[in-house]
Amino acid sequence: MSQTEAFFNYINDGYSCKEEFLTLGAGMLGEETVTNALVNIPLKTLNRHGLIAGATGTGKTKTLQVLAENMSDKGIPVLLMDVKGDLSGLAQPSSGHPKIDERHEKIGIPFDAQKFPVEILSISDQDGVRLRATVSEFGPVLLSRILDLTETQSGIVAIIFKYCDDNKLPLLDLKDFKKILQFIIAEGKAEISAEYGRISTSSTGAILRKIVEIEQQGGALFFGEKSFEVDDLTRVSEDGKGVISVLRLTDIQDKPKLFSTFMLQLLAEVYETFPEQGDSGRPELIIFIDEAHLVFDEASKALLSQIESIVKLIRSKGIGLYFVTQNPKDVPEDVLAQLGMKVQHALRAFTAKDRKALKLAAENYPDSEYYDTKTALTQLGIGEAFVTVLNEKGIPTPLARTMLRAPMSRMDVLTEKEIQEVLDNSSLIDKYNKSIDRESAYELLNEKIESINKEKSEKAKLEEEEKINKKRTSSSRRSTRQNPVVKVLTSATFIRAVFGILKKVI
């Protein structure tokens, strides 16, 4: 048996699937693609999460696009975090190219240009279906995270949430949260401190300044109603394709805390909302998190623990998480250990630090008689990657250097006109893009403050009236008691008036 035949069996034995699957590409022996040595991924293990890593310009985004397309084609809904703004092209078919045809001929599968059902989402000023969450849904931990609060300030936020829950004060938007802070500073400090513990005015003022700061960064757009219902991420089009929801994040790249906290809130909401699925044979939703380091950078131990817990548990809800980043070391080890599929594009080793990272990356992959992984990682071409997935039995497949298939949709962004067409065809715009401002903490606290001020005014008025009455009573008493000197003078004056003389007192 030739080496090529042995390699063909190596790939087919490792990546054969009896149930539903999608094809990522074909295995490569050295620099040569072995036709029909197909690298397949079973649908039933897609909820075991994944990693797409590699240096800038090596093809990570196109791999993400290929996976999203093929999942959609199998009826699996997808959510993409579009940080760089180059994924909207999924809504239009590829224009084709001779190099694409050549690539697919080597792989051994036909190229079929097509478009996919796309929904454009936004948490900022960009056009799209508005994603919102209330402050209450965010919770004290994540709100403290996005505001970058100290431990003491975070404790105050937790007290505020408890006070509002106990007193039926809905916290819907930042206006509500600002009002409760202003209430504490001006009127409610004694009431809250007596019931829940001491609250520092200086710390409360610092939190208020942080709220104003996040408003200036555009964060206020995300908080409010109508809250986005995560079930709307799991829609399927009329022709049976999973809807690809593209969340446009190009204008918040300089606001990593807003992005990372939003992601944590979304994952927590998905986990709380979706029912346990068991082994259904296909996932309910796949979420791709591009620029994944933004989620993990500067995260506290408590938040990292929360992320790790969600990653471990959310797959039982039929949710697969796929992290896209430049280097596997951007993802915490405890999270990395949970990722069943790994697609590693080329890495660069220009410095000692790069070489160390390269060595660590190579150790994430199983040994193979066909590759020197550490060396080959620097030699992968654009659109090539090392791949290992979980087979239908949940066992890691052999490492395969893979010639990846080309995207079926456009490898470029949509024009403004095309984006508008997508928005015009959206069934969610009318549902979510009308702001709702129902009665909440802002209005209720205004009423309470007005009531307090009215009571104070009435009390002050009563005190003033009482003071005036006291003065009148005191004055009246003084008027009935004539001063002795006045009394003498008055008597003398009377005598003079009557008799015209004063008796001479000897």
**pLDDT (mean) for 408-436:** 90
CA distances from 210 to 150, 217, 319 (A): 11, 11, 34
Distance in angstroms (rounded) separating the CA atoms of residues 495 and 376 = 132
Q: Which residues 6+ apart lie within 8 Å of 318 measured at CB?
A: 47, 274, 277, 280, 282, 283, 284, 285
- pLDDT tens-digit series, residues 130-179: 988 899 988 898 888 778 888 899 999 999 999 999 999 999 999 999 99
- pLDDT tens-digit series, residues 275-300: 988 767 889 999 999 888 877 876 66
Q: Which residues 6+ apart lie within 8 Å of 177 measured at CB?
A: 135, 143, 160, 171, 211, 441
CATH code at position 276: 3.40.50.300
Are 220 and 435 in contact by the 8 Å Cβ rule? The answer is no
| 284 domain residue, yes or no | yes
Three-state secondary structure call for residue 327:
coil
CA distances from 160 to 143, 163, 265, 450 (A): 12, 5, 19, 20
**pLDDT (mean) for 63-90:** 93
- pLDDT tens-digit series, residues 117-127: 999 999 887 88
In the β-sheet with 341-344, what is the strand arrangement from edge to edge?
Answer: 32-42, 21-29, 400-404, 384-388, 341-344, 50-53, 319-325, 285-289, 78-82, 244-248, 118-122, 129-130
**pLDDT (mean) for 349-373:** 82
Ranked by mean pLDDT, the top range of 246-260, 345-359, 464-478 is 345-359
| 99 domain residue, yes or no | yes
pLDDT at 492 over 50: no
Task: Tell me the DSSP string of 403-414.
Answer: EEPPPSB-SSPP
Retrieve residue 71's tokens.
Answer: 């999942």
At 482, the pLDDT band (50, 70, 90 cuts) reads low
Q: Which residues 6+ apart lie within 8 Å of 457 measured at CB?
A: none
**pLDDT (mean) for 60-64:** 94
Ranked by mean pLDDT, the top range of 30-34, 221-225, 326-330 is 30-34
Percent of the chain with pLDDT over 70: 91
What are the counts of helices (DSSP H) followed by strands (DSSP E) for the chain? 18, 12
Going through 272-409 in order, the beta strands assigned E by DSSP cover 285-289, 319-325, 341-344, 384-388, 400-404
The candidate with the shortest Cα–Cα distance to 306, out of 327, 283, 332, is 332
What separation, in Å, do the N-terminal and C-terminal C-alpha atoms of the chain show? Answer: 159
Exposure b/e, 443-462, CB count within 10 A at least 16 = b: bbbeebbeeeeeeeeeeeee
The candidate with the shortest Cα–Cα distance to 34, out of 101, 104, 107, 100, is 107
Looking at residue 126, what is its pLDDT? 82
For 297, the domain range is 3-132+225-432
Distance in angstroms (rounded) separating the CA atoms of residues 25 and 39 = 5
Ramachandran quadrant class, 500 (left: phi over 0; alpha: psi -120 to 50; beta: rest): left
450 or 171, greater pLDDT: 171
Q: Which residues 6+ apart lie within 8 Å of 196 measured at CB?
A: 159, 162, 163
| 352 domain residue, yes or no | yes
CA distances from 28 to 17, 36, 182, 395, 399 (A): 19, 11, 65, 21, 11
| 274 domain residue, yes or no | yes
| 502 domain residue, yes or no | no
- Name 32's bridge partners: 29
- Name 85's bridge partners: none
pLDDT at 116 over 80: yes
Q: Which residue has tokens 């849904």?
A: 137
CA distances from 298 to 157, 260, 323 (A): 20, 10, 17
The candidate with the shortest Cα–Cα distance to 116, out of 88, 86, 85, 80, is 88
**pLDDT (mean) for 93-106:** 95
At 302, the pLDDT band (50, 70, 90 cuts) reads low
pTM score, two decimals?
A: 0.84
Q: Please state the domain count of the chain.
A: 1
Going through 199-280 in order, the beta strands assigned E by DSSP cover 244-248
> For the ranges 112-116, 330-334, 437-441, which has the lowest average pLDDT?
437-441
Average model confidence (pLDDT) across the chain: 86
| 183 domain residue, yes or no | no
| 105 domain residue, yes or no | yes
Query: Is the preceding peptide bond at 226 cis, omega within 30 degrees of 0?
Result: yes
| 196 domain residue, yes or no | no
